[in-house]
Amino acid sequence: MRKALVTGSSRGIGKAIALELASRGYSLAIHYASSREAAEAVAAEAREKGAPQAVVLGADLSSPQAAAQLVSEANAALGGLEVLVNNAGITRDTLLIRMKDEDWDAVIQTNLSAIFHATREAVKIMMRAKWGRIVNISSVVGILGNPGQANYVAAKAGLIGFTKSVAKEYATRGITVNAVAPGFIESDMTAKLPESVVAEYLKQIPAGRLGKPEEVAKAVAFLVSDDAAYVNGQTLCVDGGMTPH
């Protein structure tokens, strides 16, 4: 059965993606930055749901080169790697004029440069197998823009362009590269937002509610499946109808 690495799968959207893939029979590498115990619990749940193997790997992706090492560790631990979901991400929100150099650098390194390093390593492995699926978790704000998130939006928009380019490079090699752009999803990331901000966002969501991590996970599970073989270089918005195309 296929083997998948989901970065940032100790909690939130990454956890839901890992568990969805587990229930579909994938072996999994569960990755965390600091929440080791939570990651161990996700691995146990993944095995209960049907993952033949679930290993736990730690890496701080604010040093982007660590992402390549993480991919090769996952490949070694699982005995192959057909699926990479670049999900780990952070925010350092503030208005541009207050944004410190380190707020910019941390978000670009973790949310964009780490994905370059992970993807380059994964493509080498997938080319040898002549099959692979990469899904990059972007955001609707990477399409729409968002005040207070210039660093995050630059990374998420960059990820969409990166996805389109890499998809074109390896389209003949059995490898697809797509992005998923979640809207506002219930997670630790959005739990930090003040109630007034959430109320404002709700006005922009036709569905009238935040999304659930499991709803993002279903979209990812489709894109990494055989059913999505002819879907490549796309950005699939999972946002309750928020983003016009």
Binding site for ligand NAP (CB under 6 A): 8, 10-14, 32-35, 38, 60-62, 87-90, 110, 137, 139, 182, 184-185, 187-190
Least Å distance, CB 159 to ligand NAP, is 9
Q: Whose Cβ is closer to ligand NAP: residue 32's or residue 170's?
A: 32
Longest dimension (CA), the chain: 50
Q: Of 7 and 232, which has the nearer Cβ to ligand NAP?
A: 7
CA distance 101 to 109: 12
Positive/negative CA dihedral, 199, 205, 206, 209: negative
Within a 13 Å sphere around the CA of 235, how many CA atoms are in the beta-carbon half?
25
Q: Residues 198, 190: contact at Cβ < 8 Å?
A: yes
Nearest approach in angstroms of CB 39 to ligand NAP is 7
**Is 32 one of the catalytic residues?**
no
The interaxial angle of helices 150-170 and 114-129, nearest 10 deg, is 20
Q: Which is the catalytic residue, given 26, 152, 201, 230?
A: 152
* 90/171 with CB nearer ligand NAP: 90
Token pair listed for 60: 């701080």
For ligand NAP, the closer of residues 171 and 190 by Cβ is 190
Across the beta sheet with 3-6, what order do the strands follow? 54-58, 27-32, 3-6, 83-86, 132-137, 175-182, 235-238
Give least dist CB 219 to ligand NAP, A.
12
User: Minimum distance from CB of 139 to ligand NAP (Å)?
Assistant: 4
Enumerate the active-site residues.
Answer: 152
